[in-house]
Amino acid sequence: MKTFSKYWSIFQITLINSLAYPGELVGRSLMIIPFMWIFYQLWKVTFSAAGADVVSGLTLRDTLWYLMLAETIELGRPPVARTMSESVKDGSIAYILNKPYDFLWYQFSTAMGETIFRAMLNAIFGGLTVWLLVGAPAHPEGFLIAIPAVLGAWALHFCINAMIGLSAFAVEDVSAFTWIYQKLAFIFGGLLIPLDFYPQWLQVIAKALPFASAIYGPARLFVTPSLELFISVMSLQLAWIIVLSLTLALVYRSGIKQLTVNGG
Amino acid sequence: MNSIKVKNLQKTFQTKRKAAGLGGSVRSLFKPEYSSVEAVNNLSFEMEAGELLGFIGPNGAGKSTTIKMLTGILHPSGGEASVLGFTPWVDRQKLAFQIGTVFGQRPQLWYHLPAIDTFTLFGKIYELDDRETKKRIDFLAEAFEMKDLLEVPVRKLSLGQRMRCEVAASLLHRPKLILLDEPSIGLDVVAKQNIRDAIRRMNQEEGVGVLLTSHDAGDLEALCKRVIIVNHGQIVYEDKVSNLKRKFLTTKLVEVRYAEGVAKDFSIDGVEILKVGHYGVKLKFDAAKTSVESVLAHISAAGDIVDITISDPPLEEVIAKIYEQAKEYE
């Protein structure tokens, strides 16, 4: 119980800390408004060029709400890899490592603390914009059903990003890896185009990768919720979380021995 | 009982070397060259429970690396260490419940939040119950004179105020040992004094052992009973601070002012005359070679003394001398 309350407190203090500069928090979240407007313009043209109201099972309205949630997941998640790499570079990792908690659980708790308000604001601004452009979501209850999958998505993002962050123990600067990860998530996660619009062979590849569970799965569940889809999204996501978190724990155990703490 | 026992501790870092300019950068991409740096080299020492031990040395001497190994943050390249019965890099989390750390150059308080928030968080992290945490915060607030500071966002505190909170935070869980890495860096005289007083009080009242690294010989003089001086990752001197003073503070500086004029050729055997003025002289001698008594006899024979000051050179000079000796020895 004390262990749980430890990480809960770390989560809470990060949550409070994220409100230190509310103006910056709101300003950053406003970025989702132009993004959604651009998506609306692009997909409106695409749907009219296709001459159909439904493409691959999605309407224009579904597509926009899908993209809103996909963007909320992506824009809400904190730069875990960069934060970890910075703490190795500037030596502040010394303070993170000298307290009686598990390093990875500490990082996860702070990551989630940083995520919540940012994601909520993104969802509010993005949701209002999409509502004005294409109307209410076809299945508003999908939002509640998608929440566990969104939380799972962040856990999955965390596992991958923490692994990238841990590589800082050896290489210090990880910006190249985060760039590659981000682009892979764009393409295989369905951040710009729902995976349903991909050619069949590419869909098969993309859906087999963890990126789909981190973006596409929860966003698709939101626009077309069903028990069947919920079970399939959550079970695939859970499988990936188990595999990647175990790998992460192994990488951490070997990485910590390589650590060089900078500074006096 | 020992709280720290270190035997042949070793830490070697691999550092990438690169020739200057673009050519050097390109070459190092294809054929990187590494050199080994012995940050800590065969270090052995012990520290008693409740002791105030100074661990000093110039930049790059291996002080911080040693502290990081003793807290379990870094794995050593060789050797053994036991801190409060734990091997730090094996039992890092268990050890963390028993020790406190302050790295003067790296804040541990949450910068945008009032210090009380960090204190409360630390209470949870160290698994104290809420009532105990509150009681302890009240006690530390009084000991470190920080009652009025606790609810101010840390970023608004002065460096001295912040350091008081930092050191207090490291004592929240009643550690048996605190490792202070440059706690007085950048502080003014008053702030340094406040920190030293509070540390001394905690040592006396709670028996907490203090391992202190510092550039400031004043910290050492004010706080530590024993000192270890390191250079290039090795111990170059280890003794009580009082012995350090007795052995190395043998040089005396004397300033005398006479009622009448002083002879221009004022001299005493075995004494270096630094300055002869109209009414005063300034001289220096080694008390181990020339007796204080004989020097004073000569001074008083030279005329009616109005004023006399005898002083020791600052401890910093002594430490610099020890580094110099170590360098010559190499």
Is pLDDT of B156 > 80? Answer: yes
Check B110 against A98: CB less than 8 A apart. Answer: no
Q: Where in chain B is the domain with CATH 3.40.50.300?
A: 2-246
Neighbouring C-beta atoms of residue A150, cutoff 10 Å: 24
Q: Which residues of A touch B230 (CB under 8 A)?
A: none
Mean pLDDT of B161-174: 92
E strand spans, chain A: 54-55, 58-59
Q: Which residues of A touch B180 (CB under 8 A)?
A: none
Whether domain B2-246 has CATH 3.40.50.300: yes
- pLDDT, tens digit (0-9, with 9 covering 90-100), for B68-85: 899 988 889 899 999 999
Q: Which of B74, B113, B120 sits opposite A17 (nearest CB)?
A: B113
Residues of B contacting chain A (CB within 8 angstroms)? 13, 59, 64, 68, 71-75, 92-94, 96-97, 99, 101, 103, 105-106, 108, 110, 112-113, 117-118, 120-122, 124-127, 181-182
Q: Which residue of B has its CA nearest to A264?
A: B64
Long-range contacts of A37-41 (CB under 8 A, 24+ apart): A37/A129, A37/A133, A39/A63, A39/A64, A39/A67, A40/A64, A40/A130, A40/A133, A40/A134
Q: Which of B13, B73, B105 sits opposite A98 (nearest CB)?
A: B73
CA atoms within 13 A on the CB side of A89: 13
Check A98 against B101: CB less than 8 A apart. Answer: yes
Calculate how close chain B gets to A101, using CA atoms only, in Å. Answer: 6
Pick the residue of B65, B71, B73, B97 with the most A CBs within 10 A to test the interface with A by mutation. B73
The neighbouring-strand residues paired with B35 are: B15
Burial B94-130 (b: 16+ CB within 10 A, else e): ebbbbbbbbbbebbbbbebbbbbbbbbbbbbbbbbee
Q: Which amino acid makes up residue A195?
A: L
Q: Which residues of A touch B64 (CB under 8 A)?
A: 263-264
Q: Is A144 on the interface with B (CB under 8 A)?
A: no
Burial status of residue B312 (CB atoms within 10 A of its CB: 0-12, 13-18, 19 or more): middle
Q: What percent of chain B has pLDDT over 70?
A: 97
Q: Considering chain B, what is the average pLDDT of its residues?
A: 87
Q: What is the full DSSP assignment across B171-222?
A: TTT--SEEEEESTTTT--HHHHHHHHHHHHHHHHHH--EEEEEES-HHHHHH
Q: Which helix (H) or strand (E) holds B258?
A: strand B251-258
Check B73 against A97: CB less than 8 A apart. Answer: yes
d(CA B199, CA B212): 10
- pLDDT, tens digit (0-9, with 9 covering 90-100), for A125-168: 999 999 999 999 999 999 999 999 999 999 999 999 999 988 88
The neighbouring-strand residues paired with B273 are: B283
Calculate how close chain B gets to A259, using CA atoms only, in Å. Answer: 7
Lowest-pLDDT choice from A240-244, A255-259, B113-117, B298-302: A255-259
Query: What six digits make up the tokens of A169?
Result: 């123990």
Q: Which residue of B has its CA nearest to A257?
A: B75
Query: What six digits make up the tokens of B284?
Result: 């220096």
- pLDDT, tens digit (0-9, with 9 covering 90-100), for A205-253: 999 899 999 999 999 999 999 999 999 999 999 999 999 999 999 988 8
Nearest CA-CA partner of A166 in A229, A78, A250, A64: A250
Q: Where in chain B is the domain with CATH 3.30.70?
A: 250-311
d(CA B7, CA B329): 23
In a 3-state reduction of DSSP, which class is residue B295?
Answer: helix
Check A91 against B106: CB less than 8 A apart. Answer: yes
Structure confidence at residue B252 (pLDDT): 84
Check B106 against A263: CB less than 8 A apart. Answer: yes
- Between CA B231 and CA B234, with CA B233 as vertex, the angle to 5 degrees is 70
Check B68 against A5: CB less than 8 A apart. Answer: no
- Between CA B25 and CA B39, with CA B74 as vertex, the angle to 5 degrees is 60
Question: Could you tell me if A216 and A206 are in contact, meaning their C-beta atoms sit under 8 angstroms apart?
Answer: yes
Q: Which residue of A has its CA nearest to B15?
A: A260
Confidence of residue A262 (pLDDT cuts 50, 70, 90): low
What ipTM does the predicted assembly reach? 0.84
In a 3-state reduction of DSSP, which class is residue B41?
Answer: strand
Confidence of residue A9 (pLDDT cuts 50, 70, 90): very high
Whether domain B250-311 has CATH 3.30.70: yes
Q: Which residues of B touch A100 (CB under 8 A)?
A: 93-94, 96-97, 125-127
